[in-house]
Structure 1
């Protein structure tokens, strides 16, 4: 029940991008004493105290006993259980008395910003047990002779040191947070989007043009293939009255960008069409090529993201992502990035799409949507010189007005307390239902006051 995301983007010349070159990260210095999450470099999940066992769990901020105080002696005391430290019993990770020799670790660099937790005087390390690295389930941690990423850990500060964000034109794209409308097309204003019963629970209540005027800059759109082309529908276009074509909403966005040359928009496509159909649909959008941003052609992966000033100067301010897989397109002989649609998993990370049903209990944990889906992409993924953009989903299975308003009022809290440390980066897209409720724009404004890390 998840919709593609819309991103605002712009292209930049290679010469302009040279100004944003990121130097290779140095090996990690020894961490200072303080409160940390002990986070797997493989899965992005956190070490948690589970009644004496130490397991990897989905990141949940200050809940679920996942915070550890690093002492000068190499101990890691659980903040919820004074006197109980992350230690070992044989080949299993356990919580033990902090005074025990089994609670001490030698913490050394395991690469840029990564650490190994080694039993002093041995080659035995804290490790994710082979075969238990799935991101969606708890799994006991082990102590053994593991090497590589399974034995590499981030020590993510509970209270990170942030810095003031640069002025608007000098902020790089990955330093900016955008308000994003989940299922932006499912609004009951622009046209039909689902069979009548589903129409009773629109994800939004305002049309695309109003969303743009209100400051929405990311648009998640589901597209399905019909004889008429790529149509915006939820799950299926059967029984949908007055369906809207993708090109119609893209034209609205392009027209907005032409009228507002300092703005940037991103579109996320939940994509169920053949590449040839999508290409033909984009060809109908007048002026698209003038604003389309192509990070694959401007050295982003080598040099990092450009500044907003560079994107504005280049005039290319619309970034389009697809959640379709590259491999399937290669097998068919046409890739979508050949005509300017980027494969989202190559450029972004994204947390699981739902916090639970529309009413009742919620799950605020923040973990990768793409780890167990054949991609193995943790939220913490990064590359030398390049940080993926972070799409933070914050909505339920079903849109209930009262629930959406309450959830949106807690958006900034979840972003900072749960999702930012889970991804080790600030969210770039805050995707919500009913953006008109609970003031999610205030959360966007708050996140845009600082840079992390």
Structure 2
């Protein structure tokens, strides 16, 4: 029979071990977990972080960045719109929160969050694919160049109303839409914008600069309530409906697998060469053709930073204004938010992090700080 004193000692040791395990498993919680800490839910992480997995980089789940820095609030002086960078979601409408509207969907998704959540987390540019379908305008993936029940996501007006609600609730924010436009019937796309209530925020084509000039100051765009910038891939609609033809104003690199070659950054076929400085805005795609959630983590981390450096050189030493990714929150840590902080740092003051931009800061200041 076990001696009572020995049994007490054994129980005490078991208690200590169990306490250590519990303490290790719940080293932080209730909103106290920092970037990189292990977590069990979003509630464990500090504000601006989410609890997500990334099997390529770590086991289990950790707190990683899930919200953007407000670049407009970093410096006192407002700069032209083309002197800022923005988190951009590829196929923003194709997300996991979108309910079925046609009874069946057999296509892939590109994002986890609804468009509203994307905007609330700091996404400021949305890529939307517009199609004529079922007598209306839908957001849809293409199969054979057309929208089908099994590739359709949502009526365009419902997503545009989410954008309108965000702009209404956030009067100092600007949202950009890139439309991959498959709508051929005249004026029906512009009518959707009218019906959604977005025309009161419309930035007019007549105010968009040509020949590489600066865009208006952000403070003036906000003061004039011209806070929605919309581009279409259909050239005719600039003249007929007042929707800006993207390639008159933006250069863009190759998207999908063809654009994911290390050390290379070439323009997509529709775009002018990336170093064409008659276009004031630079859009960089960084995503594979088929989105795999776990594999995206590495894409949105070190590879993204490397791609932005490569494209900076290819674009005539211009930093990107828009960075388009799949699963925008997935990364090994800082992700697309860290990348855009770098871009805004470079655009605003020549630093590698926008948080280094203070009044009077410059690339010289940043170099001195690095040497300390």
Distance 1:436 1:398 in 2: 17
Distance 1:263 1:413 in 2: 26
Q: Describe the superposition over 1:272-319 as per-residue Cα deviations: whole angstroms up to 9, x where unpaired.
A: 002322122222112x2211111x322622652111111111111001
List alignment gaps of at least 5 residues for structure 2.
1-72, 351-372
Residue 329 of structure 2 corresponds to residue 436 of structure 1: yes
1:416-431 matches, within 5 Å, as: 416-424=308-316, 425-431=318-324
List alignment gaps of at least 5 residues for structure 1.
1-164, 330-334
How far 1:167 sits from its partner (Å)? Answer: 2.4
- Identify which of 218, 229, 245 aligns with 1:308: 218
Distance 1:391 1:322 in 2: 14
Larger proportion of helix: 2
Contact 2:214 2:280 in 1 (8 A): no
Residue 187 of structure 2 corresponds to residue 281 of structure 1: no
Question: Secondary structure of the residue that 1:345 maps to in structure 2?
Answer: helix
Tell me what 1:353 maps to: 255
Tell me what 1:254 maps to: 164
How far 1:215 sits from its partner (Å)? Answer: 0.6
Tell me what 2:206 maps to: 297
Tell me what 1:379 maps to: 274
Residue 281 of structure 2 corresponds to residue 389 of structure 1: yes
Q: RCO higher in 1 or 2 (8 Å CA, sep ≥ 6)?
A: 1
How far 1:234 sits from its partner (Å)? Answer: 0.2
- Identify which of 95, 108, 111 aligns with 1:187: 95
Distance 2:306 2:151 in 1: 37
Instruction: Identify if the C-alpha distance between structure 1 residues 380 and 215 changes in structure 2 by more than 3 Å, giving closer, same or farther.
Output: same
- Identify which of 205, 210, 216 aligns with 2:112: 205
Instruction: Identify if the C-alpha distance between structure 1 residues 299 and 447 changes in structure 2 by more than 3 Å, giving closer, same or farther.
Output: closer
Q: Provide TM-score, normalisation by structure 1.
A: 0.55
Instruction: Identify if the C-alpha distance between structure 1 residues 262 and 411 changes in structure 2 by more than 3 Å, giving closer, same or farther.
Output: farther
Larger proportion of strand: 1
Residue 105 of structure 2 corresponds to residue 196 of structure 1: yes
Distance 2:208 2:315 in 1: 24
Instruction: Identify if the C-alpha distance between structure 1 residues 411 and 243 changes in structure 2 by more than 3 Å, giving closer, same or farther.
Output: same
Residue 286 of structure 2 corresponds to residue 400 of structure 1: no
Question: Secondary structure of the residue that 1:365 maps to in structure 2?
Answer: coil
Q: May I ask how many residue pairs the two structures share in their alignment?
A: 267
Distance 2:292 2:277 in 1: 36
Contact 1:169 1:307 in 2 (8 A): no
Distance 1:213 1:309 in 2: 20
Question: Secondary structure of the residue that 2:291 maps to in structure 1?
Answer: coil
In angstroms, what is the RMSD of aligned CA positions? 2.6
How far 1:193 sits from its partner (Å)? Answer: 8.7
Residue 232 of structure 2 corresponds to residue 322 of structure 1: yes
Q: Describe the superposition over 1:369-419 as per-residue Cα deviations: whole angstroms up to 9, x where unpaired.
A: 03xx5x6x1111123xxx421010000010011221110012552244211
Distance 1:356 1:399 in 2: 14
Question: Secondary structure of the residue that 1:170 maps to in structure 2?
Answer: coil
- Quick check: 277-286 or 185-194, which moved more? 185-194
How far 1:337 sits from its partner (Å)? Answer: 4.6
Q: Describe the superposition over 1:98-135 as per-residue Cα deviations: whole angstroms up to 9, x where unpaired.
A: xxxxxxxxxxxxxxxxxxxxxxxxxxxxxxxxxxxxxx
Tell me what 1:340 maps to: 242
1:22-421 matches, within 5 Å, as: 167=75, 169-192=77-100, 196-198=105-107, 201-235=108-142, 236-240=146-150, 243-274=153-184, 275-286=186-197, 288-294=198-204, 296-298=205-207, 300-301=209-210, 303-324=213-234, 326=235, 329=236, 335-356=237-258, 362-363=261-262, 365-370=264-269, 373=270, 377-383=272-278, 387-410=279-302, 412-421=304-313
